[in-house]
Chains A and B, each alone.
Chain A
Amino acid sequence: MIDRITALVIKDSLEAISEEMSKTVERTAVHPLFNEVHDYSTGVFFYDGSDVRLVARATAIPVHIFASILSVEALMESFQDDLHEGDIVMLNDPYYGGTHHADWTVMKPVFFDGKPVLFPSVRAHMADFGGPVAGGYNPEAKDIWQEALRIPPIKLFEKGVLRQDVLDWILANSRIPNVLRGDLAAMFGACNLAEQRVHALFAKYGGDVVNESIEYTLDYAEKRFRAEVAKWPDGEYRGSATLDHDSLGNYDVEVKTTVTIKGSDLSVDLSGSSPETPGFVNSPFGNTASWVYTALCSVLPGGLIPPCVRCCRKPPQSPPACFEP
């Protein structure tokens, strides 16, 4: 049984690692989207053999950091037993845990006992990545191929060696390849730094203690979250918002939400929202879930974030959410 002090120290170490990643990216990336707009997020994800969970993040863009859970899941699904020390994986595709083409996620598996356990990750809004419109926002797009280059989980580094041909292929689809190259280098560097820090943590405490501490932290977060939810009256609560148009002549696109509280359980149902639209306002699951988490964060006490685990996934029996891919 892990002691609470050690668990807290390790949790805060992971938070510090995320923060250090964030500062690294801020100071070394090229485009002002990083050092002025801060349109990027850094975090560390934990894989227990079946689920991916967010364990630490620096001050972040909520949509980035929550959707990145699905990115890490996509990584595991794509590479399964073909992950090695020194690999760095990247993706931007909205249907692989992305949000929109602009947001690129760089992830590095950190191993303990031969298995990938922790995934330092940087997700950032990149300035340009091909497509008919510079910057990637094409209001005339009727399908995803009219927007920009789609990147599935792909290894940029394999066992520590850069795949230069793959990097060149990706850079060829940007109008500003030198800027993109610099930004990616910053993201790779941040992940490499995080790996060093995590290895130091493993060396100091041992991998078993680190893993137990993470499980303890996540369980504690769930208990606190449930304790908070249990204070809210049981019932169904409804809300809605309307998007003026989808840029292709379809108006009043509705989002309808029903939040059900039952004891310490909370569910969010988006049934009844408008169907898919031809325009580019559809939302993949990662994006939708991210904003659900963000809304929950805003009503929870400071420092408490919803545990981003299976309990926050849509249950299989629910009708398809709106804006599905």
Chain B
Amino acid sequence: MAPSLDPAKEVSTTIGTTLGRARPALLRRLASLALIDRRHVTVALATADGRVVGIDPAARLGMVRSVARTVCDAFSENIAEGDIILTNDPFSGGTHIQDLTLLRPLFVAEQLIGWTVVQTPLPDLGGMALGGYYPFALEIWAEGIRVTPAKLYRKGVLQRDALTMLTLNSRLPHLVEKDVQNMVDILELANTAVTALAVRQTPAVYTQALDRIIADTAAQAQAALSALPRGEWQGESGPIHCCLEEADLHVTVRLTVSGQSVELDFSGSSPAAKGFVNTTAATTQAAAAIPFLALRPSLPANEGVFQHLHISLPDDTFLHAKLPMSVGWSPYQPSQAVVQAVAAALGQTYRTLPPVKHLTAPVTAPPLPFTVTGCGRPGCPFSPPQPPTPNP
């Protein structure tokens, strides 16, 4: 008699296989790939209550988990099979305007068993600058339009007017429409694979398997954290330039290891900035988790990673952006600074700094397809301003 397969292992394998197929498939199809940061193209699976259980790439775990929880909470009483939710809003668990997330609930026998999630940058969504990066944005509304969680599909029917409102606010509407369709197609691909498994296993067994996967990861994370020496360590980042501030910003973090959990306290970091270097709580937490993901490379990237990692973000720092602050640059230099500061603190527990370059690679700004004009002062990473052309 053939040995029965552990349901959690079967689910874990299916998740890995599905994500392994879905993300490359999406990358091959994206019409705007040359104009976006392909590292931000993400596919994930979540439990019915929005906990991420698998994700590709792992570095985007923090970015996606917050959106998934926010959408689940917003639509818990109002979701049906065939619905697809879209959102880009930094203040609804997101990062910056450019990153659009689509979420589709998975149903088996009318029971909600989970979500598939796809997140892709859009090449443009209005605002003052083509591409959305505007260093002089004083508020989020100068960066582009906010799309709070809304239904793109209702019970399988496209809400064409909602899609039109999205594309109308882009300078590149044809690319946006095409890529939204591509994202919908990948959701369908993932949905088919996962629901087939859930039907075979039964929803109860499937959902229990998801809980076990997360719990196993939490246990592994806890074991990794337990190996750290107890104590408190400080870390600080390099300077962060803001075109609208006289002085550079810094990230300061205190790492406290107390047995089986760790706390990261970002008090003392620079206050909120006038320009677009503020980061939402979701983005800060995502960056803060990256060094811990590297602590044990075999650690699966899912909600379990965060269970014993406690992050304290004071309201008055630039790391906990509130409406209407601008946040356009947050996935890059500010996130890089968070990773640097946490890695610096973590490195002290081992008495040597862990390699930082490979950790900050995911949050290093790529070459931008459109010119981003900055202030021209020393340290400004953007193009210097051009002199005004005389009026003929």
Residues of A within 8 A of B (CB): 78-79, 93, 130-132, 143, 145-146, 148-155, 165-166, 168-169, 172-173, 175, 249-250
Query: What does DSSP make chain A's interface, helix, strand, loop or mixed?
Result: loop
C-alpha spacing A152/B139, complex, angstroms: 24
Establish whether residues B150 and A145, one from each chain, have CB atoms under 8 Å apart when the complex forms: no
- Contact (Cβ within 8 A) B147 A175: no
A147 to B147, CA, bound (A): 17
Residues of B within 8 A of A249 (CB): 391
Report which of A150, A151, A169, A250 forms a contact with B148, defined as CB distance below 8 A.
A169
Q: How far is the CA of A150 from the CA of B169 in the complex (A)?
A: 6
B141 & A168 in contact (Cβ 8 Å cutoff): no
Chain B contacts for A130, CB-based, 8 A? 141, 145-146
B128 at the interface (CB under 8 A from A): yes
Known contacts A132-B142, A145-B126; 4 further A-B pairs (Cβ under 8 A): A78-B161, A151-B168, A169-B165, A173-B145
B interface: dominant SS: loop
Tell me whether B127 and A152 are in contact (CB under 8 A).
no
Closest to A142 in B: B128
Asked whether, in the complex, the Cβ of B150 is within 8 Å of the Cβ of A166, the reply is: yes
Residues from chain A with a CB closer than 8 A to the CB of B334 are none
CA distance A132 to B142 in the complex (A): 4
Residues of A within 8 A of B128 (CB): 132, 146
- Shortest CB-to-CB span from A274 to chain B, Å, is 14
B324 touches A173 (CB 8 A): no
B324 touches A175 (CB 8 A): yes
Q: Is the CB of A166 within 8 A of B162?
A: yes
Residue pair B127, A146 in contact (C-beta under 8 Å)? yes
- Known interface pairs A165-B151, A173-B146; A145-B162 also in contact (CB < 8 Å): no
Kindly identify which residue among B126, B127, B150 contacts A165, using a CB–CB cutoff of 8 Å: B150
Is the pair B169, A145 in contact by a Cβ cutoff of 8 Å? yes
B127 contact from A79, A132, A155, A175, Cβ within 8 A:
A132
- In angstroms, Cα B168 to Cα A175, docked, is 21
Type the 1/0 row for B151-193, where 1 means its CB is closer than 8 Å to any CB of A. 1000000000110110011110000000000000000000000
A-B contact pairs, 18 of them (CB 8 A): A79-B161, A130-B145, A132-B137, A132-B139, A145-B171, A149-B145, A150-B168, A150-B169, A151-B165, A154-B162, A165-B150, A169-B146, A169-B148, A169-B150, A173-B146, A175-B139, A175-B324, A249-B391
CA distance A249 to B142 in the complex (A): 23
Q: Is B236 an interface residue (CB 8 A)?
A: no
Contacts of B164 in A (CB 8 A): 78, 152, 154
Which among B139, B146, B161 is the interface contact of A154 at CB below 8 angstroms?
A: B161
Query: CA–CA, A152 to B160, complex, Å?
Result: 11
The residue of chain A having its C-beta at the shortest distance from the C-beta of B141 within the complex is A130
Give the docked Cα–Cα distance between A155 and B162 (Å): 9
Could you tell me the distance in whole angstroms from the C-beta of A280 to the nearest C-beta in chain B? 13
Cβ-defined partner of A93 (8 Å) among B89, B147, B168: B168
**Whole-angstrom CA separation of A74 from B377 in the bound complex:** 48
Q: Of all chain A residues, which has the CB nearest B126?
A: A145
How far apart are the CA atoms of A143 and B170 in the complex, in Å? 11
Which of A131, A148, A152, A250 interacts with B161 by CB under 8 Å? A152
Chain A residues positioned under 8 Å from B124 (CB to CB): 145
B149 at the interface (CB under 8 A from A): yes
List residues of chain B with CB within 8 A of the CB of A155: 161
B103 → chain A closest CB, angstroms: 13
Q: Are A165 and B148 in contact (CB under 8 A)?
A: yes
Given A93-B168, A145-B126, A149-B169, A132:B151 Cβ within 8 A? no
Q: Which residues of A contact B127 (CB under 8 A)?
A: 132, 145-146
Report the separation of the CA atoms of residues A129 and B282 in the bound assembly, to the nearest whole angstrom. 26
Choose one: A168, A173, A250; the contact of B150 (CB below 8 Å).
Answer: A168
CB neighbours (8 Å) of A151 from chain B are 165, 168
Whether B150 and A153, one on each chain, are in contact in the complex, defined by CB atoms closer than 8 angstroms, is: no
Contact (Cβ within 8 A) B165 A152: yes
A185 to chain B, nearest CB (A): 19
Chain B residues, CB < 8 A from A250: 391
- Bound-state CA distance A22–B146 (Å) is 32
A186 and B146 alpha carbons, distance in the complex (Å): 24
